[in-house]
Amino acid sequence: MHNKHIRRIYMIPYALWITLFVITPIILVGYYSFFDIEGNLSIVNYQKFFTPVYLKMTLSSFWYAFLITLISLIIAYPTAFFLTKTKHKQLWLLLIIVPSWVNLLLKAYAFIGIFGKYGPTNYFLEWIGIGTKQILFTDFSFIFVAVYIFIPFMILPIFNALNELSPSFIDAANDLGASRWATFRRVIFPLTLDGVKTGCQIVFIPALSLFMLTRLIAGNRVITLGTAIEQHFLVTQDWGMGATIAVFLMLIMFIFMILTGKDV
C-alpha cells in the first residue's frame, strides 16, 4: 500500500537516531568495559569491580539512594495528599514544580552558603547554644540537598495518582465503617501505589548517579556510582573501568525498573 512508503520516509530520521544514539552507545559502553587502562582486551575491570573497594562503594551508593528515596517519599506523600484537598490545586502544584525548574547547580550552590561555616544554619546553631558545626561536606548535607532536589519529582506522580482516585471509594470505605487510618491503608495507599512506584523510579535511579552533588556538597566524602563513573572518564581517564561501572549501573537500573514496573 501507499502508506508503507510514507512510513519509510517518517522512519528514516527516527531510526537513524535510535541506531546512532540509543543502540550504539549501549554497545560501546559494553565494548569498552573489556579494555584495561592500556587498551588491552581483558576482564580485569570486572575482576576489579568485585573487589571490596568497589563493592563497598556500590553498596553505600545504594544505601544513600535508598535513604534519599525513602525520605523524599515520606515527605512527598502527605504533601501530595494535602495538595489534592486544596482549592486551586493545579496552581499550587505548579508552584511546587517551579523550584524544580531552577538549575540544579544553583540550588546546590545555595546550600553551600546555607550550610557553610558562616551561613545561617551555623548562626542558628550558635544562637541556640550548640555551637558551630561542620555541616557542609557531611553525609547529612548530601542527603538533605538530594532530598530537597527530588521532592517535587516525587510529589508530581503521587499527586496525579491521588487526583485520579475516585472519591466514591473513600465514601464507600467510610460508609462501611472504616476508620480514617484503615481507609488510608486499605484503600487510598494501594490505589495510588502506581504513583509511588513512578516517583521512586524517578528518584532512585538519578540518586545513584548524582556526581555534581557529591562533589559540591559532600566534598568527595560520599562516592556514588555516578561519581565513580565521572572520576574514571574525566579525571583518571580509565574509560574501561568507568564503562564497567556504567554496565553495572545499567543492570541495576533494569532490575529496578522491572521490580517497580507497573505491569508486573
Positions 125 through 184 that interact with another protein (CB under 8 A): 148, 151-152
Q: Verify binding: residue 82, another protein, rule CB under 8 A.
A: yes
Backbone phi and psi for residue 41, each to the nearest 5 degrees, phi listed first:
-70, 125
Stretches 10-18, 41-49, 50-58, 185-193: which one binds another protein (CB under 8 A)?
A: 10-18
Q: Which of residues 11-30 bind another protein (CB under 8 A)?
A: 11-15, 17-18, 20-26, 28-29
Q: Residue 111 or residue 161: which is nearer to another protein going by CB? A: 111
Stretch that binds another protein, among 38-46, 111-119, 166-174, 187-195 (CB under 8 A): 111-119
The 3-state DSSP class for residue 41 equals: strand
Phi, psi of 116 (to 5 degrees): -65, 170
Q: What type of residue is 221?
A: R
Can residue 102 be called a binding residue for another protein (CB under 8 A)? Answer: yes
Residues 87, 88, 118, 175: which binds another protein (CB under 8 A)?
A: 118
Binding segment for another protein (CB under 8 A), chosen from 55-63, 105-113, 133-141, 170-178, is 105-113
Instruction: Report residue 66 as a C-alpha cell.
Output: 535508598
Buried b (16+ CB within 10 A) or exposed e, 189-211: eebbebbbbbbbbbbbbbbbbbb
Min CB(235)–another protein separation in Å: 12
Q: How far apart are CA 29 and CA 3, in angstroms?
A: 37
CA 136 to chain CA centroid, nearest Å: 21
Among 42, 47, 55, 120, binds another protein (CB under 8 A): 120
**Burial call 72-90: b when 16+ CB within 10 Å, e when fewer:** bbebbbebbbebbeeeeee
- What are 190's three cell numbers? 494501594
Q: Is 255 in the site for another protein (CB under 8 A)?
A: no
Least distance to another protein from the beta carbon of 166, Å? 21
Alpha-carbon gap, residue 53 to 30, rounded angstroms = 22
Size of the site for another protein (CB under 8 A): 80
Q: Which of residues 181-210 bind another protein (CB under 8 A)?
A: 201, 205-206, 208-209
Pick from 74, 95, 130, 176: which binds another protein (CB under 8 A)?
Answer: 95
